[in-house]
Amino acid sequence: MTMKLYGSTGRSDRVKAAAAWAGVALEMAPFVMGVDNRTPEFRKKNPFGKVPVLETEDGTCIFESNAIARFLVSHKPGCVLYPADLTLRARIDGWCDATNVLDVIGPKWLYPIVGIGAQRGVTFDPQSTADAKQVLKDFLQTVEDTLKCNKTLKLIGGSEFTLADVVCACSLQTAYAALYGETEWRPFPKTLQWLESVFAAPEFLDAVGVVPRCVLPMVFDAKGPQAMPSTLKPKPKDDDKDGATVDMKYDVNGWPAQRIRQTFFDYFVENGHTLVPSSPVVPHDDPTLLFANAGMNQFKPIFLGKCDPKSPLAKLKRATDTQKCIRAGGKHNDLDDVGKDTYHHTFFEMLGNWSFGDFFKVEAIGFAWQLLTEVYRLPG
């Protein structure tokens, strides 16, 4: 079963996620906001001229994102997101409707930062931004209090996510990706854990992609608009020629993993480092390790003074590498955290640069700062 979805906006993600849980395939219809939504044909689909709009197989059109999401999960009998119990559905609907208060975050806080709506008079106003921040803080506190009372990280309780979790999490995507950093999340640890558990659900990842976590919150800059972080999209299944599991090809604003890795290597090689290949995941000559769990593992002979003076390792002064790591036991065990957020993994690669008696903290800090701010161009 395939239905058409018009308009890919932030509010479309809850629709895509709901469709994934309900097993409904969505076809993204060609659509240009500001053009197509003004045509008489589209006004027949949504008289308000807004998106998203869902068109069913028989041509019926449904508008408003929460209404579309409810329709999709109701369409599949037994869908866990929207159980048949009417009282439970009413509670779920209550949470979905409560997210409407967060609509002010866009026009009052985010839009002036990214330059949306200037022609309509949406400009930066410190008081409006402060008001939006308070609305978000109050909402997060309510979620935090609710989760503390529940025995599971679910808004309605129980062992399964419901539409309340999906809609509320999608309503907080902007805050998670662009407006709230580590400091801002500290008063809401349960909420952050719950939010990342929704984002890490297989259905959400398949439909929406990986939501990048904000490191440095975006703030208004009078010099001009800033780019909004992109969701990390999964590789289209049509590209899977061999029928194997589809890889997630991450790309944030033109920076896929391969480019990040190669840029890291190029920078440190240009600064006198020797590029060293990753050692095997299962160390061949270190009985103290079952798996390589850190980039320093292959350099242990140097640190311990046990390196053969005639070996290539002994000649290293500066090195850069990527190390394939497994953390599934022992001192460094991330198994308990996998699936609860988007950044704990059991298998990953670790980029690093090393000095063996050549330079120390002053130079190391200088290299790191230049790489991050001048090469990767992260905000300083």
pLDDT in tens, 177-204: 899 988 899 999 999 999 989 998 889 9
Report whether 237 contacts 246 (CB < 8 A): yes
Per the listing, tokens 């109050």 go with: 138
Q: How many CA atoms lie within 13 A of 7 on its CB side?
A: 26
pLDDT the model gives residue 237: 44
Say whether 164 sits in a helix, a strand or coil. Answer: helix
Distance CA 275, CA 269 (A): 7
- How would residue 255 be classed by pLDDT, with cut points 50, 70 and 90? low
What distance lies between CA 357 and its chain's CA centroid? 39
Given this model, what pLDDT does residue 95 score?
A: 97
Q: Helix-strand-coil percent breakdown of the chain, rounded to 5?
A: 45, 10, 45
Mean pLDDT of the chain: 87
Distance CA 79, CA 188 (A): 30
HSE of 33, CA atoms in CB hemisphere, 13 A: 11
Please count the other Cβ atoms lying within 10 Å of the Cβ belonging to residue 346: 15
Type and span of the H or E element at 2: strand 2-6
Asked if 105 contacts 169 with a C-beta cutoff of 8 angstroms, the reply is no
- In the predicted model, is pLDDT for residue 211 greater than 50? yes
Supply the pLDDT for residue 368: 95
pTM here is: 0.64
pLDDT at 224 over 90: no
Predicted pLDDT at 67: 96
Please report, for residues 92, 126, 347, the alpha-carbon distance to residue 337 in angstroms, rounded to integers and kept in the order given.
27, 38, 13
Residues in the chain, total: 380
Question: How would residue 230 be classed by pLDDT, with cut points 50, 70 and 90?
Answer: low
Query: Which whole number is the average pLDDT over 109-136?
Result: 90
Give the rounded percent of residues in the chain with a pLDDT score beyond 70: 91
246: confidence class by pLDDT, cuts 50, 70, 90:
very low
Residue 107, pLDDT above cutoff 80: yes
pLDDT tens column, 328-349: 876 767 787 777 777 778 888 9
* Residue 8, Cβ density class (10 Å: 0-12 exposed, 13-18 middle, ≥19 buried): middle
CA angle, 242 then 246 then 247, to 5°: 120
Q: For residue 232, what pLDDT is reported? A: 54
Q: What is the pLDDT of residue 369?
A: 93
